[in-house]
Structure 1
Amino acid sequence: MKDGFIRVAAATPDIKVADPVYNEAQVWNMIEEGEKNGAKLMVFPELCLTGYTCGDLFHQDILVDTAADMLKKLIRRSEGHDVLFFVGLPWMKDGKLYNVAAAVHDGELLALITKKNIPNYSEFYELRHFTPGPDVPEPMEWDGRIVPFGSGILLRCVNLPELVVAGEICEDVWVMDPPSISHARAGATVIVNCSASSETAGKHVYRRSLIAGQSARLVCGYICANAGEGESTQDLVFGGHDLIAENGTVLAEFRRFENGMILADLDLKRICSERRRMTTFQVENPREQYDYMDFELEMEDLKELKRPVDPTPFIPSGAAERNERCEEILTIQALGLKKRLAHTGCTQAVVGISGGLDSTLALLVTARAFDMLKIPREKILSVTMPCFGTTDRTYKNACLLTKKLGAELKEVSIKEAVAVHFRDLGHSMDDHDVTYENSQARERTQVLMDLANENGGMVIGTGDMSELALGWATYNGDHMSMYGVNASVPKTLVRHLVRYYADTCGDEELKDVLYDILDTPVSPELLPPEDGVISQKTEDLVGPYELHDFFMYYILRYGYRPSRIFRLAETAFAGIYDSAVILKWLKTFYRRFFSQQFKRSCLPDGPKVGSVAVSPRGDLRMPSDAAARIWLEEAESLMAEGSR
């Protein structure tokens, strides 16, 4: 539970219809199993103490009374056990029978959550037996204590305030206005559903999308435990299709037609962070409609997380989805440039081409935009500007790429111009300091701008979002352009976009050159090569881009603190980077991110392609003078603590 993670479970026990004594034992066995596996919150199916398919046996007093007795037994057994669990049973109150989920923790019945929407169509005939429960909870005396009875109940964990649990039962989530909407609006971060949803062909697909969609709409964790084998098969079959979802993502799903348990770790801080970011997510405080029950859980650290932590959060994992995303992003980039070109009446573009990944992507996007406008690609001026650090490999690739795309190639060597500039400054050619490097970058930008003026064209920016986050750009050098097509594309995604283009272009020669560019080390090529090979490798200097993109995603998308990002990175990159390496580059990211904001404050226009961006006009309105102290101090404290 440290860092806001909580392990939850959805469990489908083996049951016998109309045998609460047997069923209670099966439920308790699964509670003990879940507790051994670290579960703090467990959900069981609808009416599982009796079985959902009891039919008119629900009119038998002995069945209802025995179920209540078995609930008492479960409550007694739970004393001293740190698990909040929800179990379904029929409940008599004021002469009416209700379908409820009992919430139990540490020897105490916290609430009886009632089913609001009672289905009475097709195979369902619940109104024959059950009465819809009240929205506003009613106090009910049972076994010597007062228990809230109804739908509007929030269970709050006093020592983990991000954990606020509410419940609904089966059909409640299938209707047009589920109770969970009101629950989330009232502050619930986790919704539990005790369910008995029968299986028909294809229904599981809809059920999965329903639960995932509800968790996305409500920005919450959603745990659905479904009835399974053991229910009567007189007319129906129940598949035990348990689901755990979080904000649109299914974290765990049990295979159908088997009984068992699934576990997953919900990220409560991620849920709260997302709600905080979304100004349209309105939390109300309808105290007259809700009862609030408090409980406390022991705070334990989950050593290994039972949830995926993707090391490349900007990149879909599946090939089909990744290809679809790449096509979508390339189109967004090209459409942004198309609009700017059309609006300005510009029919000429100027791209500085280095033979590296970023300029390659910019040229590919520019070619696509020109195709959309039906402007000949010959109107794209691709400029190679060799200088002291240029290698034969990158030079040849730049020239061949331009040729294959049908753009015009122009070579402007800047060696002499930079040498003259150094003489004017009195700067030694042997002094390979920041002036040596940045003078080349600024000279290249001046050449591009002047060529754009000469041709009535537009300079297309090549720098990517990862470089902007780190400030790895020369101010008023490659930092500047007239439209930056890569401004919201992280470096790890640039690779996939170029690879996707290579794989789908249908030209083997173009594919070969693109793959060679992909294999070339990332470098600004501002220092002389060694034996003809690139000597200046960016990732040796600022760190691996896959780490920095990971940091950037969680810092900007969710606002996580350093300790949390460090923990997630340890999980995501286990076996790839050790903790000391991760922490070293995390501190580097924070230092550069804060100190280099002034460069991002004056970025050229460029299209946003994903959920994270650094435009000062859009997603990142950050002061250039913000201090990094508290972030770096927490990172330093992690170094003192050592690896987990």
Structure 2
Amino acid sequence: MFDEKTYIEREGKLKDGYIRAAAMTPKIKVADCEYNIENIKALMIEAYKKDTAIAVFPEMCITGYTCNDLFLHDRLLDSALEGLVSIKHFSENVKGMISFVGLPYEMNGKLYNVVAGVMNGQILGMVPKMYLPNYGEFYERRQFTPGFNECVYVNVDGEEVPFGSELLFTFDNNRKVKIGVEICEDLWTPQPPSIKHAMNGATIIVNASASNETIGKDTYRKQLVSGQSARLVCGYVYSSAGGGESTQDIVFSAHNLICENGSTLAEAHKFADESVYADIDVERICSERRRMTTYAVDENSAYTEVQAHGLINKELKLIRYFDKAPFVPSDKKERDSRCEEILNIQSYGLKKRLEHTNCKNAVIGISGGLDSTLALLVTVRAFDMCGFDRSGIHCITMPCFGTTDRTYNNAVKLTKQLGCSLREINIMKAVRQHFEDIGHDENNHNVTYENGQARERTQILMDIANQTNGMVIGTGDMSELALGWATYNGDHMSMYGVNASVPKTLVRHLVQFYADTCGNEELSSVLNDVLDTPVSPELLPPKEDGTIAQKTEDLVGPYELHDFFMYHMLRFGAEPEKIFRIAKYAFAGEYDDKTIYKWLRTFTWRFFAQQFKRSCLPDGPKVGSVAVSPRGDLRMPSDACSHEWMKQLDRIKEINGYE
């Protein structure tokens, strides 16, 4: 039998790369180290109880940042060092959690603003601040000396501790977690130390800060932290000083932030001294860096890596938000902007192809479904951009065994409202003749019955394109291509596929956006009815009441699930176990675990089995960060084996007792 505990110990992967970090602002009193230490310890305990692996405290949190010339007094410096040693011993009580605390530290007669990394009863290393602000309200150079890159060793409480900026904190049980440190102003400079840290392998940057609050500064600060996390493809934990600091001239708001690759995972309410927690996905960070061939590595640095034992490495109950529709912005304003941009990309792509081929006619198989509707709307926009007459768009409706009155009527109305040419060609006779030629029983509604119709339609479209000196516009979308839900050399083929990188969940919003903004009430009404129609290839006869019998999502599964699976698998290389885990969070209350597993298994199997269809896709424009074109984002062998992926799915099945 499969033993989950053994698997966790052997692989260490059930946590899926998620590391919980905290940015914390303790209650302090200026120059009262004893008081401050007790409150830091209290927050360490709080963080530990929440399975935090990385706890970050503000700049100079042991003494307070606003001590000014008191930093020149031995009494304060000695007390700060005693406080650090006290935290060091206390860290034995929170094993597996690394804490970063700020303090003043004297070495060779010079004073440095440093952050110490403390874990498991050890001071692992100390990092000095490189850039000392000496302008406006800041005058750190009055007391402190700028830090240096190379590591030296200092004796603290009988231990030899590495001291320098070029220092990374690593862990014996999680090789993907590497932590680099910078301090406040370091980030605000043209060349922050975090750049070198990341180029030397740091996947998480921590920043102990004392950034005061002025009008509008919070917006810039957030952009700075988020932007640096995007630029460096890393997690960024920013802890800032709060209300305990002196307000003699400036005020601190404890604006704590945790970001990952451009996204803000957690943000504190200002002036609340609020601790924030977030789960950073280190596997996702590493996957993104592998993908980016321009992500430079610094091969000339002499970084020192200190390794700690036993970073908290358990399967977390995640506090991270997972968007169930990753291709579709939840904010309407942003979504509308995205839709307009995508329609422009699709239309400009087709415009260029029409101009290049000197083609003023387009041929589209119009079914009354979502995909062909979007393709027609894009073609109309492209023709308008070119200044071509819309009558050159030849919409071909080809009713057969599965066509319903609803979809047929919508196809006709849509074509007329848009001012395109409409031609009806009933293919029943031709398909029946074909069945007779190949000896297929029409009552056998198998794949031959379905694909015979799809290929007949494509043959007609191609031949009409020859008649009109036109171009067949493909209608299939990216979700169908990922699943292989297309008839090879049928609807799979065209001369330009405008929907090739648009997922099904986004197709719906693009059509809705057009309906909402077209300014034509009758056209809008037709588009809304198309949106209400079940997705179907209409290749099987309708029900007795004339409604659609063949609903795609009943056969291959809900497209919102498949688009979620596709996004995380193709965009970040997520494994089935991880996708299953996060899908349960994203779709909690909508799909039970067994249903999610069923369709994830379907998606994975079909994705591998159907690559041969994607290997010979027609041209089409890329619109987003995920695409399946063999010339663009997905260079995958058609005979790649799915065994390793299915093996993980089998493990899920065995653990959960699914049939």
TM-score in terms of structure 2 length: 0.96
1:39-438 correspondence runs (5 A) = 39-82=52-95, 83-286=97-300, 288-303=302-317, 305-438=318-451
Distance in 2 separating the partners of 1:392 and 1:201: 62
Task: Write the deviation string for residues 298-344 of structure 1: whole angstroms up to 9, x where unpaired.
Answer: 421102x1111111111112111111111100000000000000000
Post-superposition offset of 1:427: 1.3
Kept in 2: contact 1:215–1:221 (CA 8 A)? yes
AA at the equivalent of 1:34:
A
Secondary structure of the structure 2 residue equivalent to 1:148: strand
Kept in 1: contact 2:238–2:258 (CA 8 A)? yes
CA 503–276 in structure 1, closer or farther in 2 if over 3 Å, else same: same
Determine whether 1:24 maps to 2:12.
Answer: no
Secondary structure of the structure 1 residue equivalent to 2:394: strand
Post-superposition offset of 1:33: 1.0
AA at the equivalent of 2:600:
L
CA 643–157 in structure 1, closer or farther in 2 if over 3 Å, else same: farther
- Counterpart in 1 of 2:50? 37
Task: Write the deviation string for residues 213-243 of structure 1: whole angstroms up to 9, x where unpaired.
Answer: 0000100000000011011111101111000
AA at the equivalent of 1:297:
L
Stretch moving more, 294-303 or 608-617? 294-303
- Counterpart in 1 of 2:557? 543
Kept in 1: contact 2:52–2:312 (CA 8 A)? no
Secondary structure of the structure 2 residue equivalent to 1:79: helix
Determine whether 1:581 maps to 2:595.
Answer: yes
Task: Write the deviation string for residues 18-64 of structure 1: whole angstroms up to 9, x where unpaired.
Answer: 11111111111111111111211100000011111111111111111
AA at the equivalent of 1:380:
I
AA at the equivalent of 1:197:
S
- Counterpart in 2 of 1:629? 643
AA at the equivalent of 2:260:
E
Distance in 1 separating the partners of 2:550 and 2:345: 32
- 1:485 alignment partner, one of 485, 489, 498: 498
Distance in 1 separating the partners of 2:653 and 2:416: 51
Distance in 1 separating the partners of 2:487 and 2:145: 70
Stretch moving more, 8-17 or 292-301? 292-301
AA at the equivalent of 2:201:
G
After superposing on structure 2, the runs of 4+ consecutive aligned residues of structure 1 that deviate more than 2 Å are: 282-296
Percent identity of paired positions between Structure 1 and Structure 2: 61
Distance in 2 separating the partners of 1:631 and 1:291: 34
Distance in 2 separating the partners of 1:284 and 1:122: 35
Post-superposition offset of 1:619: 0.9
Kept in 2: contact 1:186–1:286 (CA 8 A)? no
Kept in 1: contact 2:200–2:303 (CA 8 A)? no
Post-superposition offset of 1:137: 1.2
Runs (5+) with no aligned partner, structure 2: 1-13
The total of aligned residue pairs comes to 643
- Counterpart in 2 of 1:572? 586
- 1:552 alignment partner, one of 553, 566, 570: 566
Determine whether 1:523 maps to 2:536.
Answer: yes
Kept in 1: contact 2:131–2:146 (CA 8 A)? yes
Task: Write the deviation string for residues 354-373 of structure 1: whole angstroms up to 9, x where unpaired.
Answer: 00000000000000000110
Stretch moving more, 280-289 or 132-141? 280-289
TM-score in terms of structure 1 length: 0.98
Runs (5+) with no aligned partner, structure 1: none
Distance in 1 separating the partners of 2:132 and 2:176: 31
Secondary structure of the structure 2 residue equivalent to 1:476: coil
- 1:5 alignment partner, one of 7, 18, 24: 18
- Counterpart in 1 of 2:469? 456
Post-superposition offset of 1:576: 1.1
AA at the equivalent of 2:571:
R
Kept in 1: contact 2:243–2:271 (CA 8 A)? yes
Distance in 2 separating the partners of 1:486 and 1:46: 51
- Counterpart in 2 of 1:641? 655
AA at the equivalent of 1:549:
D
Secondary structure of the structure 2 residue equivalent to 1:12: coil
AA at the equivalent of 2:487:
T
Determine whether 1:466 maps to 2:479.
Answer: yes
- Counterpart in 2 of 1:604? 618
Secondary structure of the structure 1 residue equivalent to 2:24: strand
- Counterpart in 1 of 2:520? 507
Task: Write the deviation string for residues 384-434 of structure 1: whole angstroms up to 9, x where unpaired.
Answer: 111110000000111111111111111111111111111112211111111
Distance in 1 separating the partners of 2:421 and 2:606: 37
Kept in 2: contact 1:137–1:291 (CA 8 A)? no
CA 269–121 in structure 1, closer or farther in 2 if over 3 Å, else same: same
Secondary structure of the structure 1 residue equivalent to 2:275: strand
